[in-house]
Structure 1
Amino acid sequence: MKQIFTSLLLIVVINSSVFSQTSTGFPEEYKVLHIEPSKTDSTISEANSPHLVVYNPEAKQGKLLFFMPGTGGIALKGPKSLFATAVNQGYHVINISYINTPAVAQICRGKVLAENSNCTKEFRTRRIYGNNNFSLIDDAPQDAIVNRLTKLLIYLSEHDKTGNWDTYLENGAPKWSEIAVSGQSQGGGMAAFIAKEQLVSRVVDFSGGWDYSDKPKIAKWYYSPSVTPSDVWYGTYHVTEPAAKIIKESYDAMGIPKSHIYPFNLPVPEGKKGHSNGVRNIGYVNDWIELLGKGN
């Protein structure tokens, strides 16, 4: 049953190898890499803080968990306990560094949204693929999320042979069938958007974006057909966050099964926000295991 944790279970979880961390924030047997985007593509200069790459070289090769942080998020400061759980589940993990400001909600609003009900779809298309003419953000084609992932995978396949990164490439592009997409807030919305158009192995959306077509109507792209089947879609939100209702509405519109929607409700520490609690609070580790499934 979700979020029912006995004191004994918590003791076992906290003392497990998942949280036996070194100075990197991860168990010592994990390989941790910090790679600047410009090292993978010399034309990249914006948002050049390092990508975070984590995996266990001794584990059986599994799927890739491709994670996208939210607005203002820095890859190296990502939710390490969540990522350690993913590696323990058999995944290689990439927390991508990308242009994540301004957010879609900061651009597609008011008069802009009133004049273009597809604003959020066009925004996300440019930020993810870089192949349209949406003019309200300055993201260059090389800055697109998919280009950054592609160039990172190619770089890793050449410079980190032990990671067997070719597994996640096909004809010089991401092999989406071997990749689970995930993210928090803006990044969760990006994961959902990708999964609509690419056949990925799994989708885990943590408090994904709240896109509108015309307030209070949610964006039309949420209702569009998905290439990725609904049985591998998962979504979470915290019941205290201001956008909880609209996030749940978007999950329903995307056809996420009711049993795959997790309304988190553990107390949020003072000074913290429910919006990011779902990827930070180790009290959800058993939920993370369910959400991620086995990577290998």
Structure 2
Amino acid sequence: MRRLLVLAAVLLALQAQAEQRAVAVPPQATDARLGGDEPPHTVVYDPTLAEPLWVWLPGTHGRADAAHKALFQAVRDAGFRLVGLSYLDGEAVSQVCVGPRLRAHPACAAAFRQQRVWGDAPSAPIADRPEDAIVPRLTRLLRYLAAQDPEGQWASYLDGDEPRWSRIVLAGQSQGGGMAAYLAKTRAVAGVMMFSGGWDREPNGAPARWYRLPSATPPARWQATYNVREAQADLLADVYAALAIPPMQVHALDLPVVARQPHGDGIVNPSYAPLWRAMLDSLKPQP
């Protein structure tokens, strides 16, 4: 109940602008095959404005309707529509692709992410169904919104059977950041924002080789953060280098931590609002 009250307060605050709408969409409303107990997608937008879309992917055990008030407000102030996407995030690569499994299957991390993002990995180490995958979920959500609010311009974010990636910035924390990166490798999205975003490994401990694959999204359209106090700080720096993110677009956070752990501070600490805004401004789709 407390979570719902906090979310309601955040959505009411975000609705302060005259035409702004904030809605919660149960995933099952977009596809009857999805679980009825899943957290809702969060959608905040002004139907009168053709704004670019910012899609948020939470971290492991995170919720799309979590009340990241300061971050979400920065997104809206920067001129983006906001979709917090609910997906299966109850287990992470760092929990599954380790030990004997990783040694036996060095491409475990890539197969894990392929299944969770696209739903079509032939040897996935997780039991996600194709309809559970992130891209199908986002596509069905956009179709649902286009049908429910025809004047809200949601059809403009669709391109056939997929989202119109050129109008979409992907963002995520931890597992969600890694999912955003994996997707952006194969589709030219408007931009990527990674907050301590994933640390997939090779059996020898080095960053997983998929990070070094050619990217459909150019390096100039990536932004990334990590906290210097988090346990995986050095590996995250190596991961971002493997992704070829320009050093000026990698931000080592070092302000006093207000979150429970440094790992999550980059998305809840309002002191980083100027950085969020600079990152967002740099990733607005090119006209």
Is this a same-fold pair by TM over 0.5? yes
Deviation at 1:161, TM superposition (A): 2.8
Distance 1:198 1:173 in 2: 10
Would you say 1:286 and 2:244 are equivalent positions?
A: no
Partner in structure 2 of residue 124 of structure 1: 113
CA distance in 2, matches of 1:248, 1:153: 34
Q: Secondary structure at the match of 2:171?
A: strand
- CA offsets 1:206-227 (integer angstroms, 9 cap, x no match): 1000000113211000111101
The answer to whether the 8 Å contact 1:61/1:90 transfers is no
Over the aligned positions, Cα root-mean-square deviation in angstroms equals 1.6
Asked if the contact 1:154–1:172 (Cα under 8 Å) also holds between the matched residues in 2, the reply is: no
In 2, the alpha carbon distance for the partners of 1:133 and 1:25 equals: 45
Structure-2 residue corresponding to 1:204: 193
1:60-79 superposed matches below 5 A: 60-79=49-68
Q: Aligned partners of 1:147, 1:46: CA distance in 2, in Å?
A: 17
1:49 paired residue number: 39
CA distance in 1, matches of 2:248, 2:36: 40
Deviation at 1:171, TM superposition (A): 1.0
* CA distance in 1: counterparts of 2:284 and 2:220, whole angstroms: 16
Aligned positions, number: 274
* 2:211 paired residue among 222, 228, 247: 222
Inter-partner Cα distance in structure 1 for 2:133 and 2:91: 14
Q: Which structure would you say has the larger RCO, counting Cα contacts within 8 Å and 6 or more residues apart? A: 1
Are 1:137 and 2:137 matched, yes or no? Answer: no
So what's the TM-score if we normalise by structure 2? 0.91
Q: Structure 1 residues 246, 139: closer, same or farther in 2, change over 3 A?
A: same
Q: 1:109 & 1:158 partners in 2: Cα distance? A: 43
| Percent of paired sites with the same residue | 37
Question: 84, 99, 112: which is aligned to 1:95?
Answer: 84
Report how far residue 163 of structure 1 moved: 2.5
Tell me, what secondary structure is at the counterpart of 1:75?
coil
CA contact (8 A) 2:173 2:194 kept: yes
- SS of aligned partner of 2:82: strand
Preserved CA contact (<8 Å) 1:188 1:204: yes
| 2:29 counterpart of 1:39 | yes
Q: Deviations over 1:30-66 (max 9, x none)?
A: 31110001000111127621001112345x3221101
* CA distance in 1: counterparts of 2:233 and 2:39, whole angstroms: 31
**Counterpart residue type for residue 118 of structure 1:** A
Counterparts of residues 102-121 of structure 1 (less than 5 Å): 102-121=91-110
* Native 8 Å contact 1:78 1:95 kept in 2: no
Say whether residues 1:177 and 2:162 are aligned partners.
no
Stretches of structure 1 lacking an aligned partner (at least 5 in a row)? 1-20
Q: 1:265 aligns with which of 254, 260, 282?
A: 254
Partner Cα distance (1:146, 1:69) in 2: 15
4+ residue stretches of structure 1 with deviation over 6 A? none
